Structure 1
Amino acid sequence: MRRSFVCRSSPAFSTATAGSCKASSAPPPLTLLQYSICPFCNKIKSVLDFLKVSYEVKEVNPLSKKELKELSDILPLDEKKGKPYMKVPVVLVGTEKALVDSSRILAELLSVSPGGSGPGAVIPSPPGFYEEEDKEWERWVDQKLSVLLFPNITRSFSESFQAFSYVNKVPSFSFWDKMGSQWLGATAMWMAQGKLKKKYQIEDERGALMEALGTVTKALGGEGKSGGVGFIKKGESPSFADIAVYSSLRSIEGLETHKDVMEFGDGSLKEWYEKVAKAVGHR
């Protein structure tokens, strides 16, 4: 999937050179290596889309990880394993720099004041977009909400199989890549569900997820307000906090768990979700 940088206005890259608009084959400044159902990858995509930053997406084969192995020369070392980092998301800046870990990627790319431009520069964001409160929400999403998604989408083999159906839409995967990834990936996820629940001391994964959603709706203030439900920080537009929560939930769109999420509570969560989706404007 290509989101071309060519001849497209972007607040983050406002000083693009004339040469960058000459040919549609010009490489984009940022490339995201991802799994489509990864909440951390979706966080990066949603932030970049909201800020109208051009980037390219490259799907990683979840079994072979060949797309990551091809970058072993520039990927940072995983100190625990003594080998190149082999997890998504990875963001390439040009062809020489690889950023890893979603929180670190965004912390390095984002700037709270205008001024960055061009490949490798920080991305300017609106005032108040990425403050300490937003970072606290990001930590909660990364450590709580996103962790709860895995055991919820792998409660049965059929749900795991559904979760891995995204591989069938990846044009760069061969028929055997798709078959192997869906069947073996779904089996591995399903079998790992109990281990993950034990690791994070999760007894009732659905109940824990609903409780987490309650934390979000409480922050939103629910319905009954003039103009409907607002955003987490009560601003006129979404902040990073909204996008962090939204993108985690968006990663499971189309799955049974997502349907239950959208039916949660008094409808304020769904209303908020749709408002954030519209503001992000995925491309």
Structure 2
Amino acid sequence: LVCLLVFKMTNFSLKMASANIGVCRSVINIRFAYKFCSQNNIKTKLNLYAQRYSTGIDKSLKPKKSSLFITLAGLGAGALFGAGYSYLTWQTKYLPISNDGVGNIAPVLPNLPDIEISRKINIPTDSSGLQLVLFQYPTCPFCCKVRAFLDYFGISYDVVEVNPVLRQQIKWTEYKKVPVLLAKVDGGYQQLNDSSMIISALTSYLFDKNNNLRDVVKCYPSINYNDDNGIKKSEIMNRYFLMYQGDISDNRTKEEIMEERKWRKWADEVLVHTLSPNVYRTTDEALQSFNWFSEVGEWEKLFSKWEKLLVIYVGAFAMFFIGKNLKKRHNLKEDVRQSLYDECNHWLRVINRKKTPYFGGNEPNLADLAVYGVLSSIEGCEAFQDLLKNTKIGPWYFSMKTHCIEHSGSSSGQGRVTS
């Protein structure tokens, strides 16, 4: 009897549950359906939900108009804000940059930075009165240009070798390139940036004793601008120009002065770009070049062992890939050696047309020193040996080297030297 009673009560409960599900007029809860209903019941109830929503029987199932409006308004406002911000960002890239006054002038430091001097170049015949500190990489073509100038004119200077990877030696300045030159002036040390500006400013000072170095530097302001890609860049104005208070042309014509300026610029913008793809043409050449840089720069004396190895191996690996990019950027020939030969032959043809030993005539001028300085940066590399074998640059190059070693430019006395 007990079993029969339990069976009837269970059967009655099942019938009541089935009846309740059948007459339910509200939308079923999906989670409840998964737990207590069969798969067929879920499909049935979902169909019922869709039918009621589409026919409008149950208005509570439709989204409220206010919610829909707020959603659409938010999306529209976000899209409008994003489009406006993107446009302003794009437009700002191409707006001209304001340069107050005549631009930025290299600062005068009250004291010399607390950096250890790597070595001193003392020239007994130096009468320039200049006290200079050169921050450099030993085989940077632009640093080599400055050294060639100083050596030729017999000017003493101190050297600080900069670690090309870590660059701790130039952390004191916002200008993160080399060379950087510090010159002792009244009130501290005048900073000079950019190799061509350094050479032009020092030449202007040496040629005209009425010039004050701090005043000369003001003729070479730095301005900021956006390039064609919207990237902010800085450029030193007038860096190829010599600044005289009077007419001190040393009997040169205007055309000769302009030609000198033109070929100084050619050395910086054409010749120099053929070097890296040649020096770092292969991984073996890149490693050989950095080992030579280490030898010339005496890195074993200046840097710890791990710093030296870091510079050699990381530098060689990085420059191998950079050399490939530079080859494409400057449209060099597939055989990059040929591009180097072509530019050097071009330079020799210009000198030959003058029928003089140097571009400057019987004595070198600033264009000769610029080209020599750039080429001297690769003298210990395999690319330079190939250059000597495949062109006739050797006689001119080694004659220039002799002039620099012997300080030939100082023979006529600083203040009236051939430019």
Same fold (TM over 0.5): yes
Between the aligned partners of 1:253 and 1:116, the Cα distance in structure 2 is: 38
Between the aligned partners of 1:116 and 1:146, the Cα distance in structure 2 is: 34
Q: Which 5+ residue runs of structure 1 have no aligned equivalent?
A: 14-27, 73-83
SS of the aligned residue for 2:120 comes to: coil
Between the aligned partners of 2:379 and 2:212, the Cα distance in structure 1 is: 33
Q: Deviation at 1:191?
A: 1.6
Q: Which 5+ residue runs of structure 2 have no aligned equivalent?
A: 1-118, 217-241, 408-419
SS of the aligned residue for 2:207 comes to: coil
Runs of 4+ more than 6 Å apart: 116-126
SS of the aligned residue for 1:115 comes to: coil
Match of 1:158 among 272, 279, 284: 284
Between the aligned partners of 1:250 and 1:162, the Cα distance in structure 2 is: 16
**TM-score, normalised by the number of residues in structure 2:** 0.54
Is structure 2 residue 274 aligned with structure 1 residue 172?
no
* C-alpha contact 2:201 2:213 (8 A) present in aligned 1: no
Give the structure 2 partner of residue 29 of structure 1.
131
Match of 1:191 among 321, 327, 342: 321
Q: Deviation at 1:167?
A: 2.3
1:99-140 Cα distance to aligned partner (Å, 9 max, x none): 111111222221273426998687999935x93222211110
How many pairs does the alignment contain? Answer: 247
SS of the aligned residue for 1:43 comes to: helix
1:133-186 Cα distance to aligned partner (Å, 9 max, x none): 222111101011111101000111111111211225232111111111000000
What letter is aligned with 2:121?
A: R
Cα RMSD of the aligned pairs, angstroms, is 2.8
**TM-score, normalised by the number of residues in structure 1:** 0.79
* C-alpha contact 1:156 1:190 (8 A) present in aligned 2: yes
1:42-97 Cα distance to aligned partner (Å, 9 max, x none): 0000011111111111111011000011x22xxxxxxxxxxx12111111113632
Q: Deviation at 1:4?
A: 3.3
1:214-233 Cα distance to aligned partner (Å, 9 max, x none): 111102218xx8xxx71113
* C-alpha contact 1:12 1:116 (8 A) present in aligned 2: no
Give the structure 2 partner of residue 92 of structure 1.
182
Give the structure 1 partner of residue 263 of structure 2.
137
What letter is aligned with 2:288?
A: Q
Between the aligned partners of 1:218 and 1:11, the Cα distance in structure 2 is: 36
Percent identity over paired residues: 30
Give the structure 1 partner of residue 359 of structure 2.
232
SS of the aligned residue for 1:45 comes to: helix
**Higher normalized contact order (CA 8 Å, seq sep 6+, divided by chain length):** 1
Give the structure 2 partner of residue 254 of structure 1.
380
SS of the aligned residue for 2:302 comes to: coil
Between the aligned partners of 1:121 and 1:162, the Cα distance in structure 2 is: 44
Between the aligned partners of 2:374 and 2:193, the Cα distance in structure 1 is: 18
Q: Highest CA radius of gyration, 1 or 2?
A: 2
Whichever structure has more helix as a proportion of its residues is 2
Change (3 A) 1:120 1:153: same
Change (3 A) 1:134 1:41: same
Between the aligned partners of 1:151 and 1:126, the Cα distance in structure 2 is: 38
Between the aligned partners of 2:399 and 2:362, the Cα distance in structure 1 is: 11
Between the aligned partners of 1:32 and 1:181, the Cα distance in structure 2 is: 20
* C-alpha contact 1:4 1:54 (8 A) present in aligned 2: yes
